[in-house]
Amino acid sequence: MITGVKITILIAVVTSVLSLLFGTVIAVMRNSRIKPLRFIGKLYVEIFRNIPGLFWLLFFYFVFPEILPFDLGKKLNAYPYYPIVASIIGLTLDNTSYVSDILRSGLLAVPKGQREAAISTGLSRVQQYQYVMLPQTFRKILPPLGTRMIHNFKNTSLCMAITTPELMWATQQIESITFRGLEATTIATLFYILISLSLGAIIILLEKYYKIDIASITKMEA
Amino acid sequence: MIEFINVNKWFGPIHVLKNINLHISQGEVIVICGPSGGGKSTLIRTINRIEPIQEGEIIVDGFSLTNPKTDAAALRAEIGMVFQHFNLYPHKTALQNIMLAPMKVRGLSKKQAKERATRLLERVGLADKCDNYPVQLSGGEQQRVAIARSLAMQPRIMLFDEPTSALDPELINDVLDVMTSLTKEGITMVIITHEMGFAQRVADRVVFIDKGEILEIEKPSDIFVNPKHDRTAEFMSKILHIPLVPNNKKERINKAE
């Protein structure tokens, strides 16, 4: 079961980091003045947000190896860690769509004058995002982003459907071997709550750390 | 230094700049005034191409803004801009606000940038506010930091878009003092302001714009006293709170002042 906890945390951390990374890219694309980029970004969000995460997990575990050229798919199926890899891919793609939309809302909430100030000092487009827009965006979206990350963490339980040996899967295994479902499930519940609460606490700490900035951002808009 | 040649601009169907022709020489201080919605801001924002134009040509420092080959970012580095609402970066301290562009655009080391920023903060009278975040500064202080941020790039042109309009009356003078000291340095300045006393003191020429058209370009001594155009006269008398008729009577103004 401890192994299950470890794998759950591993998947949650990796997917959160990756989806934050890709989410930023998608959000910036959707904020671009180049129409095709905006379209691709929107398309991505619509595809992955409107189809359940469980579907993508099943897709990458069962369907994806099939559509690869024959040998490659077979190798993937034989690869013992493939369930974990498929879990990470599926959850990342799913979570990215939400994260990117949260980021986009944060980007839209950065006053227009901020970008104009950055432009007028000669910063390049990338620098405008890197030093001016995105830092403010992240401070603004911390609360909804934290909620999303907790959600993503809980979604790791879906990975049991593709035999990923995470916490939920381990619980089920214990139950089917020992028939002590109540005990196993109770402990799993405690683990989930413990980790979720810690995540929430981290977010609150981050919010406090940036409190002075957040206060200033709010005040400047008023 | 800055040359407008038959510039036209539309926002959708609205014709916001109509046949603008204006030549601004190096070191000149130009004040732009006129009623709101008249195109003042738009005009000033075309100079660093925050607003693109649809017709005509703008040449800044020998580079045509309408030429796609012109490196807009490099040109903007030479043009400082100060906004009505300061637009300081709220997540950075006063010092960091000033240091960002010199480090990232000019390639200064952190130490050099800090030195320059500290010097500039001293110059605008805020040496003790280095580590304050914008929220911890008054409006006037924020605007002076914003001016210092622009100056840190050592620009040859400074654009001011109503720099004192959002300030408490008491705080306006500190900002105007800083601006006045700049006029002595040979930086070309284009200023939108309704502070007519200030305009009279520092401006080489005053441009009056209404409905997207330049109606008058005059020396301040002329435009405030002897406006040629009815519309200018109407505007000036409202803003100066004195009755004014076109081409008329110095005495009345002298009396009012």
Give the CB-side neighbour count of residue B65, counting CA atoms within 13 A: 27
Q: Tell me the shortest Cα–Cα distance from B221 to chain A, in angstroms.
A: 32
Residues A103-128: pLDDT tens digits? Answer: 999 999 999 999 999 999 999 999 99
Domains and CATH numbers, chain A: 2-221 (1.10.3720.10)
Residues A14-23: pLDDT tens digits? Answer: 999 999 999 9
Predicted confidence band at A222 (pLDDT cuts at 50, 70, 90)? very low
Supply the DSSP string of B196-243, one letter for each residue. HHHHHHH-SEEEEEETTEEEEEE-HHHHTTS-SSHHHHHHHHHHHTS-
Tokens representing B63 are 């580079």
Residues A167-218: pLDDT tens digits? Answer: 998 999 998 999 888 989 999 999 999 999 999 999 999 888 887 554 555 5
SS (HEC) of chain A = CHHHHHHHHHHHHHHHHHHHHHHHHHHHHHCCCCHHHHHHHHHHHHHHHCCCHHHHHHHHHHHHHHHCCHHHHHHHHHCCCHHHHHHHHHHHHHHHHHHHHHHHHHHHHCCHHHHHHHHHCCCCHHHHHHHHHHHHHHHHHHHHHHHHHHHHHHHHHHHHHHCCCCHHHHHHHHHHHHCCHHHHHHHHHHHHHHHHHHHHHHHHHHHHHCHHHHHHHHHHHC
Q: Does A123 touch chain B (CB under 8 A)?
A: yes
Q: Tell me the shortest Cα–Cα distance from B214 to chain A, in angstroms.
A: 25
Task: Provide the residue type at A165 as one letter.
Answer: P
- Provide mean pLDDT across the span A136-156: 92
Task: Enter the ipTM.
Answer: 0.85
Look at residue B255 and tell me whether its pLDDT is greater than 70.
no
Contact B85 A113 (CB under 8 A): yes
B135 vs A120, A132, A215: nearest CB: A215
- Provide mean pLDDT across the span A2-12: 89
- Provide mean pLDDT across the span B65-90: 91
- Provide mean pLDDT across the span B177-198: 91
Residue ranges per domain, chain B? 1-78+158-218, 90-154
- Provide mean pLDDT across the span A15-42: 94
Predicted confidence band at B125 (pLDDT cuts at 50, 70, 90)? very high
A to B CB pairs, distance under 8 Å: 85
- Provide mean pLDDT across the span B107-136: 93
Q: Does A131 touch chain B (CB under 8 A)?
A: yes
Tokens representing B40 are 């003042």
- pLDDT of res. A219: 53
Q: Tell me the shortest Cα–Cα distance from A110 to chain B, in angstroms.
A: 10
- Provide mean pLDDT across the span B72-81: 91
Angle at B140 between CA B134 and CA B142, to 5 degrees: 20
Considering only residues 137 to 166 of chain A, which have any Cβ-Cβ distance to chain B shorter than 8 Å?
Answer: 139
Contacts of A111 in chain B (CB under 8 A): 87
Topology of domain B1-78+158-218 in CATH is Rossmann fold (3.40.50)
Give the residue, A28 or A215, on which the prediction is more confident. Answer: A28
Contacts of A121 in chain B (CB under 8 A): 76-77, 80, 100-101, 105, 149-150, 153
Predicted confidence band at B254 (pLDDT cuts at 50, 70, 90)? low
Look at residue B94 and tell me whether its pLDDT is greater than 90.
yes
- pLDDT of res. B180: 92
Distances (CA, A) of B68 to B11, B65, B72, B124, B186: 21, 8, 9, 37, 29
- pLDDT of res. B108: 94
Rounded to 10 degrees, the C-alpha dihedral B117/B119/B120/B126 comes to 100
Contact A116 B73 (CB under 8 A): no
- pLDDT of res. B242: 73
Kindly report the average pLDDT of chain A as a whole number: 89
Kindly report the average pLDDT of chain B as a whole number: 89
Contact B105 A114 (CB under 8 A): no
Q: Does A109 touch chain B (CB under 8 A)?
A: no
Tokens representing A20 are 């934050």
Percent of chain B with pLDDT over 90: 66
A120 vs B50, B88, B100: nearest CB: B50
- pLDDT of res. B151: 94
Predicted confidence band at B256 (pLDDT cuts at 50, 70, 90)? low
Kindly identify which residue of chain B lies nearest to residue A125, measuring between CA atoms.
B73
- pLDDT of res. A180: 87
Percent of chain A with pLDDT over 70: 95
Give the CB-side neighbour count of residue A162, counting CA atoms within 13 A: 28
Q: What is the C-alpha radius of gyration for chain B, rounded to an integer number of angstroms?
A: 19
Find which of A121, A131, A210 to mutate to test the B interface (most B CBs within 10 Å of its CB): A121
Q: Does A33 touch chain B (CB under 8 A)?
A: no
